Amino acid sequence: MTINGESVVELDYGQMNPRLLYALCGEQPPEQDAYDIPGYSMYRKGVKKIMNAMMFTTKRLTRMPQGVRKEFEEKFSVESVMQAIELAHPAIKDSFFKGIGHDLQFMESQILVDVLLKLRDLGVVALPIHDSIIVGESKKHVAKEVMLSCFFSQSGVPAIVTEVEQ
């Protein structure tokens, strides 16, 4: 894919849901990876899925979400993972199991629309994909700055923006 004949890059918001949840709780997110939970570092992909499920559901999970069991050794229960997540994130643990995930998705969409409009005003073509955008290689630095600025102005917490490896 190219934009205006130029190679493209994808810029992605990292850890968007946890960071937005910290913002909603009036807290600053920790500097470390929100999904890197002590005792579960090698299971980041599964932790991410469970943590996001905890944001969408209104009650404690009683089993691993579909497709998540394979991300963990058999010895780990969904309850042990949830407890580890709550222990690692005391500032937001009371917001889990409140069905707030769709509110976070709405916030995400508002931020992305803001990013796209600001980039358009700067003459930068950007294509959205969930919580990331695709821009021409020469525009990646300005696009990243706009992403960081829009996230902070709407949430009050800093964003993480990374270039996705192709």
Which residue stretches of the chain are H helix? Answer: 16-24, 44-56, 78-88, 101-121, 140-155
Could you list the residue range(s) of the whole structural domain that residue 50 is in?
35-88
Q: Is 83 found in the same domain as 109?
A: no
pLDDT digits 0-9 by tens, 72-104: 999 999 999 999 999 999 999 999 999 999 999
* Stated pTM of the model: 0.94
Position 96 in a domain: no
Q: Count of domains in the chain?
A: 2
Q: What is the mean pLDDT of residues 27-32?
A: 95
CA distance 15 to 44: 12
CA torsion through residues 70, 22, 157, 120, sign? positive
Q: Is 156 found in the same domain as 111?
A: yes
pLDDT band, very low/low/confident/very high, at 165 (cuts 50, 70, 90): confident
Q: Give the chain's length.
A: 166
Q: Name the CA radius of gyration of the chain, rounded.
A: 17
Q: Is 119 found in the same domain as 67?
A: no
Position 30 in a domain: no
pLDDT for the residue 162? 97
Q: Is 115 found in the same domain as 79?
A: no
Q: Is 82 found in the same domain as 59?
A: yes
* Maximal CA-CA distance, the chain: 53
pLDDT for the residue 108? 97
Q: Is 160 found in the same domain as 106?
A: yes
Position 67 in a domain: yes
Q: What is the CATH number of the domain that holds 134?
A: 3.30.70.370
Residue 125 has pLDDT above 80, yes or no: yes
Do 155 and 143 touch, CB atoms closer than 8 A?
Answer: no
Closest CA to 57 of 110, 5, 7, 102: 102
